[in-house]
Each structure stands twice: as C-alpha cells, then as structure tokens.
Chains A and B, each alone.
Chain A
Amino acid sequence: MTITKRFWISLIFSLPMLANMILMPFGWMLPGGDWTQLSLTTVIIVISAGPFWQSAWASFTKHHSNMDTLVAIGTLVAYVYSIYAMATHQPVFFESAAFVTTFVLLGQVFEERMRNNASEAVEKLVDLQAKEAEVMRDGKLVKIPLAEVVVGDIIRVKPGEKIAVDGEITEGTSTIDESMVTGESMPVEKKTGDKVIGSTINSNGTFMFKAEKVGDDTMLSQIVELVKKAQNSHAPIQNLTDKVSDIFVPTVLIIAILTFMVWYVFLGASVASSLIFAVAVVVIACPCALGLATPTALMVGTGRSAKMGILIKNGEVLEAVNDVKTVVFDKTGTITVGKPEVTDIVGDEKSVLTYATGLEQSSEHPLASAIVKKAENEKISVPKVSNFQAIEGKGVEALVDGKKAFVGNDKLLADVEIDDKLKQQVIELQEQAKTVVFVGVENKVVGLIAIQDAPKDTSREAIADLKARGLKTVMLTGDNQLVAEAIAEQVGIDQVIADVLPSDKADHVKALQQDGKVAFVGDGINDAPALTVADVGIAMGSGTDIAIESGGIVLVKNDLRDVDKALALSKKTFNRIKLNLFWAFFYNVLGIPIAAGIFYGIGLSLSPELAGLAMAFSSLSVVTSSMLLNKAKITSKARLA
C-alpha cells in the first residue's frame, strides 16, 4: 500500500476522534465511547502504522534503528497503554496513537513528492534530446532514430528542428538557441565551420552538419552525467550528521526512558502522564530532518546552477568556495579572447614577416598562428626552411633561404644584438598591452612583430563583481610584465604575476594559498595542474578536455562573469545547507526537552499529537527550504552597490 493510501485511511479513521476531542467540552461524546475509539485506532495501527513496525523490527534485528523505530514505539506505547487503561477504567489516549500516525504520514506524503521533484529535474534534461535525425545515407536524406546516428554522418537540420548530436556545420547558416545546454539566453549565429551542440534548437536557417560526438559522448550527456554525480555527492559537512544518525535513535529511546523514570519515580507523576511525556519525546525526535538537510540542498543547488550553465562537480567544491579569498586567472583565453592578432610590424614589413612565417609555420603556439595568419592575409609566400632548432623557453632558430634566422621573446635579448631605437619601440608597444616578438638574422634583431590579444568584453565587469565581493584578483601569465600589467589595468585586476613558465603555475597558486583559499580560473592544458592544486578549480567550458576534467567547477558559457555567479550560487547553497542543519539540530535540541516536560513548570509542554505534527513538519520544512533555493535571487554585489 502506498504512503498516500495509508495516510487517507489514517485520516478518515482519526476524524471521529478529532470531532470527539473538539466537541467534548460541548457535551457531545463519540457513540460507543472507548470501544469505538479502540476499534478506530486498531484499524489505523494495523493498516497505516503496520509498515512502521515491520521496518522498525527488520532494522532492529540488524542492530539498526531509524525514524520508523521511533514512530512505531511511540504509537504502540500509547495504544497498548490505552488498552490497559481501558481495562482498569482510567482515562485513555487512543487518539494520540491515531493522530501521530496521521501527522507523520501526512509529512511523508509531502516529503516524498518534493524529494522526487528535487531529484528528477536533471533527468528531464535527457528528454530534451531529439528523437530522430535526417541523415545522408547513400546520397539520400533519410530519417533515422537518434540511436542509429554515427560519427561522420552528415545531418540536415531544418528551421525549428532540434539538432540531434554534436558536430560541425558543413553547409548553410542559421541562428541557434543554445539556452537549454549553455544557459545563454541569446540565440547564437552559426556558419560553416562552427560547432553545434546536440539538443539545441535551430531557429531560422537550414543547414547540414557532420556528426562528431554521439550517444554518451555528446555535451548534453556529459553534463547530465556530471550533474548527477554532483547531486549525489557527499559534502564534508555531512560527516557530522553521519555520526549523529548512527546514535540518534537509540539515544532518543534512552532519553524517553529517563523521562518516564524521572517523572514517575522522582516527581511522583501518574503512570499516564509520565508515559505521555515519554511518548512525546519519542515522537518529536526527527532524525530525518538531519539526514535530508544536506542532500536535498545539494541536489537543488547543483541542479539550478547546471541550468545556468555552471557545473559544480561536487559538495566538496561547494564547501571550499565558501572560504575563497583570492581568485587567480590565467590570461590567454580566460581574461582575453585567446585569439591574438598581429597589430604592428616594425622594420621591413615584408622581410620580417617572411622570416617569421618560415620559422613559425609548424608551431602551434597561439602567437605563431597569429603571425602565420597575418602572412596569409598579406599573401607572403613561405620560404624554404631547414635545420630547425628550438631555443628552450625563448624561441626558435633555423636556416631560412640559407641564412640563420631566429624568432623569439625578450629572453632572447641576452644573446643577440638590438639597437636602441628598436628597444624604445619595444617598451612603447608593451605598454599598449601588446606582446612583442623579435625577428632577427645572424644574431641581430631586424624587426618586431607586435601581437595583441584583447580582453573579452565582459572581463572588466566580471572582475569588478569579484572585487565587490571582497576577493583579491590575481593574473598569472607567461607573458611579459609590461604587457601583463597593461591588460591588468584594462580589466582592473589587483595583482599581476608575469613571466611564469607553464610548469610553474601550480607553484604560484600554492604560494598564494599561504594567505587563504584560492580559486583558479583557466582553460588550457597547461592550466590543469593549477586547477587541481587550487582549492577551487574553475575551468572555462571552451577549454581543453583535460582542463575541464581537472576543474571543480565548469563554466559552460565561457563567460567570465559566471565566475561570480558560480561563487554566489555555491555560497547560497552552502549557506542553505548550514541553515537546514541548524534548523534540524535546533529543532531536536529544543523539541526534545520541551516534550520531556522540562518546561512544564512554566506551562510549556507538548502533547504527543503536537509532537507528531511538529516532527512531520520539521523534515518537510527542511525539504521546502532546499526547494526554495530554486527561487533564491543570485545577484552580484557590484550591481547592488
């Protein structure tokens, strides 16, 4: 029988007794008196409260106890005593057993419903997937079920349709609503060569794309997997309740026995009233509220943040965020757009570019690709290059058209000649936040290439938000000090640590951890160690898989402003956990003494019925408070001020 049915039976059979209780002062009595009450309560005890007994007994034999143990003992003591009282012609309290059962079941009905709501929100995400796709097979477009789509398929998407899987557009343009996956509310323009995400909605254009990730590899599946893990993870704060839950119920039983003994033996109360105090103690104690406090808040908090495009990986991260004092940013791709462009060329433009292109042709460094791109635009042909040699941490050299040429950063300057006029220009360019690459032939610098990676539009605002939160912001970069400082000034960062070798990023984070917990925001492979070392690693969603793997928080939207939102949400959720726990403890710590009759002297006591009602609503209130996280406002402090 379901809990709901048990509740209704319990309610219906309790109502006559409720009427009896209310109307007694007006002279109305339940026909049949105690006998009617006995039969009504027996039905409730057997049908509605029976399962409590089964569960209580089953766990008792395993040396365990749970909330059902308390409810079962409480109701049964009231019931059995009332039968004894009836036989010896004393006042009965059948209604206590009946009402407690009804209230406890009422609480469970609501609670079950809300718990299911909280946990199923993310599973609904999976339902967002398209059911079928129009795929090119043997030169013809055919509709096939989603499960049959394989990597490499060419898929057509018409206006209004859902994109089946992740891939790259091969033909056509459109705007796409990606809000369900990234949380970004504005539709995004896409053209040939752009990536599309499965389960997002195509709005106006028709296009073809090539499937790159299917099944469990798609972004949506990965997000769902990640969020599921997060929702069910353990927060360290829970260790406390784990310990308490093991001893809670037996302790309450002991307190109840003590209550009875003190009232009956030492204070000379009657058996009936001593028993009522003991029953109230058993009934009011609520281990469930303690047990539900953390998991429900974690579930709602991580679920909500996922909808905003912020993936918090587990409860540990959530808890660590609370004490973060410093936020450290990687520069390239995090604060800046990550697509450097050549802005100035000093020296003979054509020859400088020719040498540089020859040397950088096969490099994958972002600066190198900026140079190669510029050369392509200028229609510079790539010269013949041989005898490649890397100059560790400084640049590369090779024979270009028979001459020994080099390209590198300012660390090269120790080994080569440069004239003062060029030196002056280097400083000027660096102060404009431009990275300078030196190009030289036979040990002499012949030209400079200035490359700029502009900050993202939102970086400044994002950093202002964090500073308003009282956090210190730091930028870590392998770039030159002058360039780094210029960028830092543009976006408003407090401290710059420049000239950092990729392998040293983690050590710098460690050093910053001396002054308190550190969050690190980054996106590249070389950020992975720093993301792991930091107390909170925040990976940009556009970043490499390894960075996303190492981070504790992933920002799907790639918007730096989400760092602040992620911190705000984590803090809100963690505070809600603390509030829930406080309430659950407070409730038990206050409720048990009141039920035991400690404040009886000042007229404050609880009947078992009220105790049962209070207990039912304590766990309900904890779950409700967690659900309210969905409604909590997430605002940045900067905009409030």
Chain B
Amino acid sequence: MTKILVLVVGIVLIGFIVWWFFGKHEAAEVSADLANDKQSIDVEVNGGYSPETVVLKKDVPAVLNFTRKDKSSCLDRVVFSDFGINRALPINEKEEIKIDTSKPGEYQWACGMDMFHGKLIIK
C-alpha cells in the first residue's frame, strides 16, 4: 500500500517538475524609464533576473541598475558578451551598467556561470 502511494506521489512530483520548469511561462518584457534623454531600469538579481527581458530605445543612453540580493556565487557576476562587459555584483549594492544603444537588436546577458539568462532588446 505504502509502495503504491510512494509511486503515485513520485509520479505526481515528476509531472509537477516537468510542468513547472519546462512548461511555457512567459516572462513579461519591461521597457526602461525615459527621463531627460536618458533611460534607466532597475534589475533585481534574486534567483534570476527580474525583469528578465528589458526593452531599450535605440540611440538613447541607457543604464541598467543591477542589485544582487541573492548570495549564490552563481549570480555574483553579470556578463554581456556582446558588449564586453563582465562585472562583479557586490551583494545589496546598486551596480550601474551603461549600455551602448547604437545598434538595434536582441542581446543576451548571463550570470558568470552561464546558468541564468536575461535578454536585452534595443529598438
């Protein structure tokens, strides 16, 4: 009896994992705030990036403010490989990252171990 119960619980758990991690869970795109010909947006780093997709306007100087709240060493750096940026994120400190918005397109950013990803859309 217990064995059947364990089997059922196990299968339900697996089903949940598949649905939770592999199912479609669209993250919302967030546009940066425009003020005085500058745009900026706060990105919280805690078990990933929120927002995960940032939309920037082309040709307007942009700053992404990363604040790491997560102690995991996975997230202690942020890498924008297309811009040659690799910055340490001290915990609970705001780290300003300037982005060159002259070329429109989609760019990935990632944590130092390439486990967490974020997307930058310049248009």
Contacts and interface: CB of A to CB of B under 8 A. Distances in A.
Contacts of B14: 254, 257-258
Contact of A231 (B52, B69, B74, B86): B86
Interface string B37-51: 000000000111010
B18 interface: yes
Contacts of A57: 47
Given A65-B21, A264-B3, A292-B113, A232 B46 contact: no
Nearest to A3: B73
A291 B115 CA distance: 7
A68 interface: yes
A62 interface: yes
A67 B113 CA distance: 10
Contacts of A228: 84-86
Nearest to A298: B81
B57 to A, nearest CB: 24
B84 A241 contact: no
B115 A225 contact: no
A234 B82 CA distance: 8
A60 B116 CA distance: 12
Interface stretch (A16-24, A47-55, A518-526): A47-55
A632 interface: no
Contact of A66 (B18, B27, B116): B116
Interface in A228-281: 228-234, 238, 241-242, 245, 247, 249-250, 253-254, 257-258, 260-261, 264-265
A265 B6 contact: yes
A561 interface: no
Contacts of A116: 88
* Dominant SS among interface residues on chain A: helix
Nearest to A1: B71
Contact of A64 (B13, B79, B80, B116): B116
Contacts of A564: none
Interface stretch (A107-115, A390-398, A601-609): A107-115
A294 B115 CA distance: 13
A142 B7 CA distance: 83
11 contacts: A55-B46, A55-B72, A58-B48, A63-B20, A230-B84, A231-B86, A241-B114, A249-B21, A250-B22, A265-B6, A287-B115
A119 interface: yes
A150 interface: no
Given A65-B21, A254-B14, A254-B18, A232 B47 contact: no
Given A59-B48, A66-B74, A242 B81 contact: no
Nearest to A105: B73
Interface string B58-100: 0000000000011111111101110111101000000000000
A542 to B, nearest CB: 24
Given A64-B116, A66-B72, A112-B73, 12 more contacts: A1-B71, A52-B72, A54-B71, A55-B46, A60-B47, A63-B20, A67-B72, A68-B74, A108-B73, A228-B86, A249-B21, A295-B114
Contact of B13 (A67, A245, A257): A257
B114 A64 contact: no
B84 A225 contact: yes
Nearest to A64: B48
B60 to A, nearest CB: 21
A387 interface: no
Contacts of B34: none
A509 to B, nearest CB: 27
Contacts of A245: 114-115
A158 B41 CA distance: 49
Nearest to B73: A108
Contacts of A294: 114
A459 B56 CA distance: 49
Contacts of B85: 228, 232
Interface in A567-604: none
A261 B47 contact: no
A287 B115 CA distance: 8
A61 interface: yes
Interface residues of A, number: 54
A258 B115 contact: no
Contacts of B103: none
B10 interface: yes
Nearest to A71: B72
A247 B20 CA distance: 12
A119 B7 contact: no
A345 interface: no
Nearest to B10: A261
Contact of B3 (A60, A119, A230, A265): A265
B81 A56 contact: no
Contact of A260 (B10, B80, B113): B10
A136 interface: no
Closest 9 CB pairs of A and B: A58-B47, A59-B47, A229-B84, A51-B71, A55-B72, A291-B113, A250-B21, A62-B48, A58-B46
Nearest to B13: A257
Contacts of A238: 114
Contacts of B47: 54-62, 64, 66
Contacts of A288: 74, 113, 115
Given A54-B70, A250-B17, A62 B6 contact: no
A68 B17 contact: no
A151 to B, nearest CB: 24
Contacts of A62: 27, 47-48, 50, 52
Nearest to A257: B10
B29 to A, nearest CB: 15
A292 B112 CA distance: 8
B72 A51 contact: yes
A232 B114 contact: no
A261 B4 CA distance: 10
A108 to B, nearest CB: 5
Given A58-B47, A59-B48, A254-B18, A264 B113 contact: no
A66 B86 contact: no
Contacts of B22: 247, 250
Contacts of B79: 232, 295
Interface string A99-125: 000000000100110011001000000
Contacts of B52: 62
A287 B113 CA distance: 9
A238 B113 CA distance: 11
A234 B48 contact: no
A67 B74 contact: yes
A232 B84 contact: yes
A302 to B, nearest CB: 11
Which of A55, A112, A119, A294 gathers the greatest number of chain B CB atoms within 10 Å?
A55
